[in-house]
Amino acid sequence: MRLTKWINGHLSIGNATQDDIIKRLLAYEDTGYSPLEIKSLESEWNAARAVVDSYRNAEEQGLLMRLPCKVGDTFYYIAGTLRGNEYVTSDTVAAIEISDAKPWIIDSCGCHHIEFWSTREEAETKLKGDREKCMKV
C-alpha cells in the first residue's frame, strides 16, 4: 500500500505517521536498488510472468510435452534381432521427432527408437523381463 501521493502538486502523507514512512524508506533502501532499477525489475517481472502464463495456457490446452531427454544425451536401447541374442547398447540422441504424440529418438546413424531408457540399468531390467516372458511361453 502506498503511503504518499501527490495532490495538486503537493506531497500528501495521508494518515501515515513519520515512523511508518521511515520504516518504508528503510525497507526500500535495504533492497540496494535505485528507483530506475526498481522500474526495470518491474518490467522484467511482467515479461517473465507473460512467458509463464503462455506456457501455463499451452499446458492446459495439451500443447506441451515433456521430452524424456535432449539432443546430445546418451540413451540406451535393446539391439539384436534374434531371440536370445538381444543386448543393451547406447548411442547419442541426434534428434527427437514427435509422431502420434509420442517422442521418437533418432540416433547418430539416423535410426528411430521409440523404446529407449535413460540408464543402462533400466534397459537391462527390461531385457531381462522380456527374456523371462519368452522362457515361460
pLDDT given for residue 83 in this prediction: 67
Read off the pTM: 0.55
User: Which pLDDT band holds residue 82 (cuts at 50, 70, 90)?
Assistant: low
The alpha carbon of 3 is separated from its chain's Cα centroid by a whole number of angstroms, namely: 39
Number of H helices, E strands in the chain: 3, 7
User: Which amino acid, one-letter code, is at 105?
Assistant: I
Contact, 67 vs 96, CB < 8 A? yes
User: Which pLDDT band holds residue 66 (cuts at 50, 70, 90)?
Assistant: confident
